[in-house]
Amino acid sequence: MRKRWLPIFLIPFLLFHGYNAKAAEKEERNWQDETIYFLMVDRFNNGDASNDFNVNMNDPKAYQGGDFQGVIDKLDYLKDMGFTAIWLTPIFDNQDGGYHGYWINDFYKTDEHFGSIEKFKELVKEAHKRDMKVIVDFVANHVGPDNPWVNDPAKKDWFHEKKPIIGSGQSSLENGWIYDLPDLNQDNPEVKKYLIDAAKWWIKETDIDGYRLDTVKHVPITFWKDFAKEVKSVKKNFYLLGEVWSEDPNYIKKYQEAGIDGLVDYPLNGPLKEAFVKPDVSMERPFTMWDINKNIYPHPELMGSFLDNHDMQRYTRDMIEAKQFPGTRWQLALTYLYTTPEIPIVYYGTEIAQDGGNDPDNRRFMNFRANKDLIDYMTKIGELRQQLPALRRGDMKLLYQKDGMAVFKREYKDETVVVAINNTSKSQKVVIPEKDLKPDKELRGLQHDDLVKDKNGNYTIIIDREKSEIYALADKSGVNIKFISSLALVYIAFMIFLIAAWRRGKKNKNKNN
C-alpha cells in the first residue's frame, strides 16, 4: 500500500522544487523551430546488405553501403538527440561512382545503392510518425558526366557550351561548367519544365518537406523565382534551403528575395569557427553578423547556421590542429549554434566528434561509437531549444562580451532566456544590471542548476572556464502561499479519500465474515 501511494505524495514536492518552463501558447510549427541533422546517405548507416553494389570500405571515393533502411533504423537515435528534421544528400539515380548523389543520371529514380522509391517513401513516413521532417538535396545546375542527355543530339541545347568558370562574374558563374560537370541551360523552356516538374513530382509522390538547393548561384535567379513559386504550390510550408557559397550577405539576400526561404549562412561560418576553435578568442564577430543579418535579409530567422559540412574540413580536425580537446570545444560551439537565431544544421558525426580532413576524408563512414558526454550534452540543449520558444523565435541582445566570455538574452513574448558562454581559460564573473533584464527576479540555470538572484540591482553570474549555462528569468523562489494552500487542499482531499476507502474496505470485510 505504502509503495503504491508514495509517488503520489512525491509529485507535488517535485513540482514545487523543480523548474518547469512556462507552457508556450500553441503556435503553428515553423521552420525556425527545427533543428536539422545533415547526413550523406551512403556514409551514414548500412541497413540493407542486398543493395551493396560496388561497395569498397577501403576506398574513400567508393560506395560504403549506407542506404534508406540504414536511415530508418537510426531515426529514433536522431529523435532522441533532439533533431526535428533530417537533410539527405541527393537520393536520385547517379552514374557509377556517384556515392555522394551529385552526378545525376535520372531525376525520377532513386539510386540503386540506396534502395527503392517504396523504401524511401517508408523513410519519409517513419520520420513523419516521429514528427520529424525530411529535406532532400536537389541539383538544378548540372548532371553527371555520363548522363545520357550529354550525347543526345536532340538535347544539345539543354547544356551550355563547355567552358570553365573564370572569375566571379555572374555570367561565367551561371554558364561555366563547375568541376567539368555538364551545365544545364535553365533558360531553355524544356530544361526548366523538366526540372520543376521533377521537383514537384517528388513532393507529390513521397511527401517530403523541403529541398536543399545545390549550387544556387550557378543558376539564373529568374529560374529560382519560378521554381520556388511552383514547388511551394504543391505543399504548404514547403521549405527551400539554398547553398550560395559567398561571404557577402548582400549578394546572398537576392536569392531569399527570389523565394528561397533560407540560405546556409556562409558569412557566419568563418567567424563562428574562429571564435570556438580554441579558448580566449573574442566572440564579437558572430554577434556582429547577426546584427548585419537582421538588417539585410527579409527573413534572417530562416537562415541556416552551421559549423562544418561535406565540402570542408571537419571542425573536429580544426580543433585537433589547434591542440584542443574536441569534446569541450564542440559543447561550447553547439551551445552558441542552438541558442542563437537561425536554424542550426549539424553535420553527421558531430555527436561523436568525428574527425576528417578535406573531401573525401570529411565523408568517412559513420561508426556510431559512443561519446556519451557529447551526446548527452546535445540531447540536453536540444530539449531546451524545443522547450523554450525564446531560443527559437526570440530577439537577441548581447549583454556582455570580452575575450571569449559572452552573455546574451533571448526574449519572446513574456519569456526571457539568458545564455552565458565562458570560452576562456579562467572562471569568469559577469555583473548584469537589472535594467538589462527585470528587477527582483532570479536566473535559474537549466543545465547545471545554477541560481542567480537580483541583489543590490545586479545579477552576478559566475561560471567556470570553458563552460556554459542557459538561464530562465523567473520570479524569485520562496514561500508561495497560493501554492501551499492549493497543496494543502490536495492533501486534505486525498486523506479523505484514503479514510473513505479504508472504511469501505473494513465494511466489506465485516460483511464477508
Looking at 389, 421, 454, which one is the last position of a domain? 389
Instruction: Report the CATH number at residue 212.
Output: 3.20.20.80
174 and 218 Cβ atoms separated by less than 8 Å: yes
Predicted pLDDT of residue 331: 98
> Based on the domain organization, do 384 and 409 belong to the same domain?
no
Query: Is there a domain that residue 452 lies in?
Result: yes
Looking at 389, 422, 456, which one is the last position of a domain? 389
Dihedral (CA of 269, 89, 51, 125) sign:
positive
> Based on the domain organization, do 154 and 261 belong to the same domain?
yes
Question: C-alpha cell of 229?
Answer: 513559386
Query: Is there a domain that residue 52 lies in?
Result: yes
Measured distance CA(450)–CA(294) in Å, rounded? 32
Measured distance CA(494)–CA(486) in Å, rounded? 12
Query: Is there a domain that residue 2 lies in?
Result: no
> Based on the domain organization, do 122 and 198 belong to the same domain?
yes
C-alpha distances in Å from residue 20, one per residue of 271, 376, 437: 35, 20, 20
Question: CB neighbours of 259 closer than 8 A, spacing ≥ 6?
Answer: 224, 225, 227, 228, 229, 232, 240
> Based on the domain organization, do 151 and 295 belong to the same domain?
yes
Rg (CA), the chain: 27
Instruction: Report the CATH number at residue 470.
Output: 2.60.40.1180
Question: C-alpha cell of 207?
Answer: 511527401
Q: For residue 211, what is the enclosing H or E element?
A: strand 210-213
When divided into structural domains, the chain yields a total of 2
> Based on the domain organization, do 136 and 274 belong to the same domain?
yes
Query: Is there a domain that residue 481 lies in?
Result: no
pLDDT digits (tens, 9 = 90+) for 356-385: 999 999 999 999 987 899 999 999 999 999
Looking at 458, 475, 492, which one is the last position of a domain? 475
Query: Is there a domain that residue 492 lies in?
Result: no
Predicted pLDDT of residue 512: 56
Query: Is there a domain that residue 375 lies in?
Result: yes
Catalytic residue IDs:
214, 243
Cα-based torsion angle of the residue sequence 215, 217, 223, 226 in order, rounded to the nearest 10 degrees: 90
> Based on the domain organization, do 129 and 196 belong to the same domain?
yes
Query: Is there a domain that residue 487 lies in?
Result: no
Predicted pLDDT of residue 371: 81
Expressed as residue numbers, the domain containing 184 is 31-389
97 and 360 Cβ atoms separated by less than 8 Å: no
> Based on the domain organization, do 407 and 336 belong to the same domain?
no
> Based on the domain organization, do 345 and 435 belong to the same domain?
no
From first to last of its 513 residues, the chain has per-residue pLDDT tens of 444 444 444 444 444 444 444 444 567 899 999 999 999 999 999 999 999 999 999 999 999 999 999 999 999 999 999 999 999 999 999 999 999 999 999 999 999 999 999 999 999 999 999 999 999 999 999 999 999 999 999 999 999 999 999 999 999 999 999 999 999 999 999 999 999 999 999 999 999 999 999 999 999 999 999 999 999 999 999 999 999 999 999 999 999 999 999 999 999 999 999 999 999 999 999 999 999 999 999 999 999 999 999 999 999 999 999 999 999 999 999 999 999 999 999 999 999 999 999 999 999 999 998 789 999 999 999 999 999 999 999 999 999 999 999 999 999 999 999 999 999 999 999 999 999 999 999 999 999 999 999 999 999 999 999 999 999 999 988 644 444 556 567 667 777 777 766 667 666 655 555
> Based on the domain organization, do 371 and 438 belong to the same domain?
no
pTM: 0.89
> Based on the domain organization, do 273 and 348 belong to the same domain?
yes
> Based on the domain organization, do 301 and 237 belong to the same domain?
yes
Predicted pLDDT of residue 485: 57
